[in-house]
């Protein structure tokens, strides 16, 4: 079971909370299936850029912390996600990487 906690760093709820939660869960699955930290960082940055934001990641052995910063407003939100326990799978790793390209190219919302 994956646990994701989102914290908005501004007053009120962030319009980026769902994006941040998705990117945290995505990164968690990538880490769980054996992706390298570099690949996780590139893929998350690619998708964040597609939605008009910048992502900063802190990748730990059992958790990933994603800070998402809106490019236009500077609004920030942060999520912490426990690594997903899935078997190492380069097939899943490749499919998740392909998802990041589809999002970046506007073929998937």
Which pLDDT band, with edges at 50, 70 and 90, does 10 fall under? low
User: Which domains are assigned to the chain?
Assistant: 4-103 (3.30.1300)
Which tens digits make up the pLDDT trace of 32-76?
999 999 999 999 999 999 999 999 999 999 999 999 999 999 999
Give the CA distances from residue 21 to residues 2, 37, 41, 68, 87, in Å, rounded to whole numbers and listed in that order: 11, 18, 15, 10, 22
């Amino acid at each position: 079971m994956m646990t994701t906690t989102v914290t908005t760093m501004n007053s009120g709820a962030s319009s980026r909370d769902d994006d941040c939660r998705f990117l945290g869960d995505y990164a968690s699955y990538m880490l769980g299936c054996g992706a390298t930290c570099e690949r996780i960082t590139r893929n998350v940055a690619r998708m964040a850029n597609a939605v008009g934001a910048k992502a900063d990641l802190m990748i730990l052995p059992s958790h990933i912390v994603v800070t998402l910063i809106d490019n236009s407003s500077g609004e920030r939100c942060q999520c912490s996600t426990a690594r997903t326990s899935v078997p190492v799978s380069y097939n899943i790793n490749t499919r998740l990487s392909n998802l990041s390209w589809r999002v970046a190219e506007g073929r998937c919302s």
